[in-house]
Amino acid sequence: MNNVKVFMLMAGLTALVVAIGQVVGGGTGAVMGLLMAAGMNLFMYWGSSSMVLRSYRAQVVTAREAPELYEMVDRLRQRAGLPMPTVAIAPHDQPNAFATGRNPANSVVCVTEGLLKLMTKDELEGVIAHELAHIKNRDMLLQTIAATMAGAIANIAQFAFFFGGRDDEEGANPFVAIAIMIIGPIVAMVIQFAISRQREFKADAVGAEISGRPLSLANALTRLDHSARRIPMQVSPNAAPLAIVNPLAAFNLRGVSKWMSTHPPTEERVAALKAMAAW
């Protein structure tokens, strides 16, 4: 059921690109929007991991440079039945982590310096297992494409808003055009965040199975959430949903709508993990 929902959400993002293209250039613009969506997906298939790593200013590390981290990732990925991913570290004090890449054979697991400093060994294993679950579930590419399309929709809408829409014999209703150009990016962001929320619950469950310690992951999520609210991180909003907890939580207003949240409520994630541990 979750996969069907995600497919529908991705279709919604593509439809938004086409709709904005229609406003900007009529039928030709709609076709161009569809081609642009296809082009972005193809581009992100090959370049997603490098773009995300740049966004977080992360650097790839070897087994010699980070032996304990590398050994932990290697041990857990064997338990998950996955090929060895590239390992990277991002220079941020906030404890966080993410996975990216186009498929399990070309994947990256990245942790921040803050995560390595603040987490216990069991908690760190839980976090890494969660990221390996994203790889096992093939979430990384989907979420990265969603982030890119959401960003592209915002840029296209901004361009159309300032430089005008189509100018043909049929004409375009200016109020409809303005509404699409303003509301389109907001809807795209909501769809992107919904995709992220759908995948996090599943990654928590599979990650708990990989590590064998659902409570360790639950404890890690609680500490990560508290730390993210206290320690700011500078990262692109489009890349924020890829992290295990919202890295921009310190900048968010309290009481933000669930629809506008990049991640499910941590309390709900922790409750689900505790329920797993009680089985």
Known catalytic residues are 131
Tell me the DSSP string of 63-94.
Answer: TTTSHHHHHHHHHHHHHHT-PPPEEEEE--SS
Q: Which of 101, 95, 96, 65 is nearest to 83 (CA)?
A: 101
CB atoms within 10 A of CB 177: 19
CB atoms within 10 A of CB 174: 11
Give dist(CA 161, CA 156) in Å, integer: 9
Rg of the chain over all Cα atoms, to the nearest angstrom? 20
Structure-token pair, residue 120: 């216990």
Q: Which of 77, 76, 110, 104 is nearest to 247 (CA)?
A: 110
- Strand ranges inside the chain, DSSP E: 59-61, 86-90, 97-103, 106-112
Helices (H) and strands (E) in the chain, counts: 8, 4
Q: Which of 64, 123, 126, 130 is nearest to 99 (CA)?
A: 130
Structure-token pair, residue 261: 């949240």
Give dist(CA 3, CA 131) in Å, integer: 18
| Plot region of 215 (φ>0 → left; ψ -120 to 50 → alpha; else → beta) | alpha
Structure-token pair, residue 90: 């991002």
Q: Which of 262, 265, 268 is nearest to 247 (CA)?
A: 262
